[in-house]
Chains A and B, each alone.
Chain A
Amino acid sequence: MAKPGFTVAHLPGFATIAVGVFVCLYLPIITLVVYSFNGGSSIAVWQEFSFRWYSVAWGNEAVKDATVRSLVIALSASAIATVLATFAALGTTRRAPYRGQTFIYVMINQPLMVPEIVTAVALLIIFASIKVATGYHGLGYLIAAHSAFCIPFAYLPIRARLEGMDTVMETAAADLYASAWQTFRYVTLPLLAPGIAAGAMLAFVISLDDVVITEFVKSGGQDTLPTYMLGQLRRAVTPEVNAISSALLALTVALLTAFFLLTRKRD
């Protein structure tokens, strides 16, 4: 007979380690956020509660530029990636297996497998030649690169949603003489919408967070928020970086919460 209180799934020390892990996981992030409200210039000695560093960051032209650029790139890239991923998801689900389907999967998921630094170097090489040849130095390169690596992140939730949808509704619509476009517009698309929204959000977060590829592809004066921060970290750090990080963090957490609410299984 087992000792009283004996549960089979219990392994001694595991819960302690787990709780320790959660504390270690969150302590640095919480410290970062707390010190973004520090009135002093230290990231470890607390002086007083203040929004000083938020207003410093807000008044900093470089930060403002980088924020706008980050948002423009993330919005364009996630929009492009989501549209392309939606088409690709429609093309790779709910139809009889066909030749080359595996190839399409591998191509779409390729950005998840290749180390970022390798893609970054590859794009640096190719875009450098194009920049010389065409003289164009705009944001187009960053948007193209971001759109490409965002595709798998947009694709996966959309595909997951599609796989859970059967074709009964579409068949019913077709039986009622709806055209292919009407069926898509009034049946498939509304059913697919939560998946598309989830995919767009992930793509947006991924684009917003990118450092490595952006760092290599950007032309002079094209800092995004993360590459601006990377540059700042080389110098003496003030809580201004904490303030920027916290703002970015808040945005990410908000989007993730929305993502989970969207993809949560309905009872």
Chain B
Amino acid sequence: MSLAEERQRKTSARNGWLLSAPALILLTLAASGPLLVVLVYSFLEKGQYGNVLWDFSTDGWTGILFSRDIFDDTLKLADAHLTIFWRSVKLSFLTTIITFLLGFPTAWFIATRTPAHRAIWLFLITIPFWTNLLIRTFAIGEILRSEGLINTALIRLGIIDQPIQMLYNDGAVLVGMAYVYLPLMVLPLYSAIERFDMRLLEAGYDLFASRMQVLRHIILPIVKPGIIAGSILVFVPSLGAYVTPRILGGGKNMMIGNFIELQFGQGRNWPLGAALSMTLLVVVTVALLFYVRTLGKGGSGGGHG
């Protein structure tokens, strides 16, 4: 490399940094930097009326799994916390499975339309994707309400005479999350299926494979990167969900996101809230790293996001 080229390269790199700097500064101040503060807060003593006292303490972290007995000060496993973690993981997992079972046929259906129709179906999936999550949660909640569409219809038809309580339980949260996160599953699946070579199916059928065999041994293995992408894109926001469980779960059926909020509100335990946030962040980061690695290895599939 000549000296001039070398210099040009350096200028280009310096300009790259300079141009990116304003965005990086804002992101450091109002997105990344504050995360470090959360880490610091998780190691402080809780203040009596919220906030923190500046004394080192690991109570925030032990508080995730254990609670201190108010009478004899012994640590015991906090069952209530474990219930919330278990509910979060269980509901996120079930949401991922449901969205896959419904999303795969949907993505397949879209990908096998003619190109002109495909764009329309894709647009129809994209609109809910960009629509306010709160509005979508509210919309599905209205359907499930005691005075909502399903109950009203059932009562009018004379099938039931008392409305069924469908809201404010785990089931409602599950239905709501599957509803709001479905497009996140369909889009990466679609981009994987779209690239799928349909001639492979002909080959499979020529070799007397049944439909089930074709699905299991040809389609699923090839679109696997899309499946992983979709699953992680659904699982990650489900785990951190706040709005949907708050509206559809009522006060009692909390998920981790609501539990974190509680610590900064009535719970007045900021260090515990900070430690919970860090835990959630680590779990999500591990999932995303797994996602990046799979995409790096697998090559195709899941171009979305």
B is a partner of A: yes
A158 to chain B, nearest CB (A): 11
A107: chain B residues within 8 A (beta carbon): 23-24, 27-28, 32
Say whether, besides A87-B19, A104-B20, A249 and B31 are in contact (CB < 8 Å): no
Chain A CB within 8 A of B192 CB = no
Chain B CB within 8 A of A115 CB = yes
Chain A CB within 8 A of B162 CB = no
A248: chain B residues within 8 A (beta carbon): 132, 135
**Contact assessment for B38 and A125 in the assembled complex, using a CB-CB cutoff below 8 Å:** yes
**Contact assessment for B23 and A44 in the assembled complex, using a CB-CB cutoff below 8 Å:** no
Say whether, besides A12-B211, A252-B130, A31 and B138 are in contact (CB < 8 Å): no
User: Which B residues, 261 to 283, have Cβ-Cβ distances below 8 Å to chain A?
Assistant: 261, 264, 270, 273-274, 277-278, 280-281
Chain A CB within 8 A of B296 CB = no
User: Which B residues, 214 to 246, have Cβ-Cβ distances below 8 Å to chain A?
Assistant: 215, 236-237, 239-240, 242-243, 246
B130: chain A residues within 8 A (beta carbon): 205, 252, 256
B245 to chain A, nearest CB (A): 11
**Contact assessment for B179 and A28 in the assembled complex, using a CB-CB cutoff below 8 Å:** yes
Which among A25, A45, A96, A249 is the interface contact of B12 at CB below 8 angstroms? Answer: A96
**Contact assessment for B139 and A29 in the assembled complex, using a CB-CB cutoff below 8 Å:** yes
User: Which B residues, 93 to 135, have Cβ-Cβ distances below 8 Å to chain A?
Assistant: 102-103, 105-106, 108-110, 112, 121, 123-128, 130-135
Say whether, besides A84-B26, A87-B19, A118-B35, A256 and B257 are in contact (CB < 8 Å): no
Which among B179, B247, B261 is the interface contact of A24 at CB below 8 angstroms? Answer: B179
Residue of A nearest to B102 (CB): A21
Q: How far does the alpha carbon of A38 sit from the alpha carbon of B33 in the complex, in Å?
A: 48
B267 to chain A, nearest CB (A): 12
A233: chain B residues within 8 A (beta carbon): 138, 141, 247
Residue of A nearest to B273 (CB): A121
A90: chain B residues within 8 A (beta carbon): 19
Which among B18, B202, B277 is the interface contact of A117 at CB below 8 angstroms? Answer: B277
Chain A CB within 8 A of B158 CB = no
Chain B CB within 8 A of A126 CB = yes
Which among B15, B133, B149 is the interface contact of A95 at CB below 8 angstroms? Answer: B15
Per-position contact with B for A224-239: 1 when CB-CB < 8 Å, else 0? 0010011001000100
**Contact assessment for A2 and B277 in the assembled complex, using a CB-CB cutoff below 8 Å:** no
User: Which B residues, 125 to 158, have Cβ-Cβ distances below 8 Å to chain A?
Assistant: 125-128, 130-136, 138-143, 145, 147-149, 151-152
Q: Please report B residues at the A interface, Cβ cutoff 8 Å.
A: 9, 12-13, 15-20, 22-24, 26-35, 37-38, 41, 51, 102-103, 105-106, 108-110, 112, 121, 123-128, 130-136, 138-143, 145, 147-149, 151-152, 179, 182, 198, 201-202, 205, 211, 215, 236-237, 239-240, 242-243, 246-247, 256-257, 260-261, 264, 270, 273-274, 277-278, 280-281, 284-285, 288, 305
In the assembled complex, 30 residue pairs joining A and B whose CB atoms fall closer than 8 Å, in A order, are A2-B205, A17-B102, A21-B103, A21-B182, A22-B106, A22-B121, A32-B135, A32-B138, A43-B145, A87-B22, A88-B23, A88-B24, A91-B17, A98-B12, A98-B13, A108-B20, A114-B284, A115-B281, A121-B38, A121-B264, A125-B38, A126-B37, A147-B26, A148-B31, A151-B26, A209-B133, A211-B134, A212-B257, A229-B135, A249-B131
Q: Please report A residues at the B interface, Cβ cutoff 8 Å.
A: 2, 8-15, 17-19, 21-22, 24-29, 31-32, 35, 42-45, 80, 83-85, 87-88, 90-92, 95-96, 98-101, 104, 107-108, 110-119, 121-126, 128, 144-145, 147-149, 151, 155, 205, 208-209, 211-212, 216, 226, 229-230, 233, 237, 241-242, 245, 248-249, 252-253, 256, 260
Seed contacts A8-B201, A118-B281, A230-B134; 20 additional CB < 8 Å A-B pairs: A11-B215, A18-B108, A19-B109, A43-B145, A87-B23, A88-B23, A91-B16, A96-B12, A114-B35, A115-B284, A117-B240, A118-B35, A121-B277, A144-B26, A147-B30, A148-B29, A212-B257, A226-B132, A256-B127, A256-B130
